[in-house]
Amino acid sequence: MIGLLLRRAALAAVTACGVVVLVSALLSAIPGDPVDAILGERAAAADRDALRGSLGLDLPAGERMARYASGVLRGDLGQSLVSGRPVADLLRERWPATAALALAATALAVAIALPLGLLAAARPGGFADRASLGLATFAASLPSFALGPLLVLAFAVRLPWFPVAGRSGPASLVLPATTLALGMAAVLARQLRGAMIDALSTDAIRAARARGVPSSRLFLVHALRLAATPAVTVLALQAGGLLAGAVVTETVFAWPGLGRLLVQAIGARDLPVVQGCTLAIALTFVAANLVADVAQLLLDPRTAREPGAA
């Protein structure tokens, strides 16, 4: 298992390097001249040359990518064109807000999905199964850009229970976390239901039932442990994808995180900050995939017995 973990970690490291290379090529992939997009076509030649030099556009593409990758390894992501501050400092300031939002949304999603998935799996085809799947389908069909304003209208305008926007305490976390959590909970509940139904039909559960294991323990301990492996994998991947949803949610609720910083940087054409935010979000998703692999191995060591595994 240790060898397989090391191989998964090495694969994640290679993927992270590929992400750095792709993000470093971001400027080259932008149609037209980025300098014209930032300063406008009527800017003075001296200003254009200065910006071109600061962005490294006067260098060959390969050298630009190498310089950016080298800077990433040193923790140097360049400077903001708007504020003049290091991009790494901006990311460090905004990261705690996004992390708090992601953790709260993940915890809320698990709290919603676990009972829904278990109720649906207890009696497949029954009323609880149909009701929970209906709720999950409805929640999954609501995009965050529509759900967020609806929650604001219901629980911040009509019923002034929570703040409309900003980060001013635990209460301000409720609406944005709920916006992110509902879609995630819907996917997780359906995954858990299917995994529980599959687990209940395995030979291990049949053997435990033949030994006289009580039905409640059989369902909540043995079957849930078998179903946890795919469910935790989906949870880790969904948690990584939260950052993508946070771009919209943080904008709707004026949440001071990475997603809002990215939207602001795009609006201001602050390309170094756009690169830094994109890199941070992509690397977080790579880390979430690695966590999913490790969790799968720890929950079910049999997955380590693949061809060539140590």
Query: pTM here?
Result: 0.78
Closest CA to 58 of 76, 85, 34: 34
Cα separation of 261 and 91, whole Å?
A: 8
Cα separation of 289 and 240, whole Å?
A: 8
Q: What is the pLDDT of residues 264-278, one digit of tens each?
A: 888 877 888 888 888
Closest CA to 106 of 224, 287, 242: 242
Q: State which amino acid sits at residue 205.
A: I
Q: State which amino acid sits at residue 218.
A: L
Q: What is the pLDDT of residues 212-245, one digit of tens each?
A: 778 778 787 778 877 777 777 777 777 766 776 7
Indicate if the pLDDT at residue 263 is higher than 80: yes
Cα separation of 293 and 268, whole Å?
A: 38
Q: What is the pLDDT of residues 35-86, one digit of tens each?
A: 766 676 677 778 777 877 777 767 777 777 788 788 888 888 888 877 888 9
Indicate if the pLDDT at residue 169 is higher than 80: no
Crossing angle, helix 171-200 and helix 87-122, to 10 degrees? 50
Closest CA to 143 of 113, 175, 180: 180
Residue 125, helix vs strand vs coil: coil
Q: How confident is the model at residue 307 (pLDDT cuts 50, 70, 90)?
A: very low
Instruction: Give the whole-number percent of the chain exceeding pLDDT 70.
Output: 88
Instruction: Give the whole-number percent of the chain exceeding pLDDT 90.
Output: 1
Q: How confident is the model at residue 304 (pLDDT cuts 50, 70, 90)?
A: low
* Contact call for residues 152 and 161 (beta carbons, < 8 A): no
pLDDT at 212 (0 to 100)? 79
pLDDT at 222 (0 to 100)? 75
pLDDT at 29 (0 to 100)? 67
Q: How confident is the model at residue 168 (pLDDT cuts 50, 70, 90)?
A: confident
pLDDT at 46 (0 to 100)? 80
Q: What is the pLDDT of residues 181-206, one digit of tens each?
A: 888 888 888 888 888 888 888 887 78
**Half-sphere exposure in the Cβ direction for 224 (13 Å, CA):** 14
Cα separation of 212 and 220, whole Å?
A: 15
pLDDT at 301 (0 to 100)? 62
pLDDT at 309 (0 to 100)? 42
Q: What is the pLDDT of residues 20-38, one digit of tens each?
A: 877 777 766 666 666 766 6
Q: What is the pLDDT of residues 141-160, one digit of tens each?
A: 777 777 888 888 888 788 88
Q: How confident is the model at residue 247 (pLDDT cuts 50, 70, 90)?
A: confident
Q: Which two tokens stand for residue 266?
A: 């795009």
How far is CA 28 from each of CA 21, 53, 89, 98, rounded to the nearest angstrom?
12, 14, 25, 29
Q: How confident is the model at residue 300 (pLDDT cuts 50, 70, 90)?
A: low
Indicate if the pLDDT at residue 310 is higher than 50: no
> How many beta carbons lie within 10 A of that of residue 183, not counting itself?
23
Q: Which two tokens stand for residue 5?
A: 């973990």
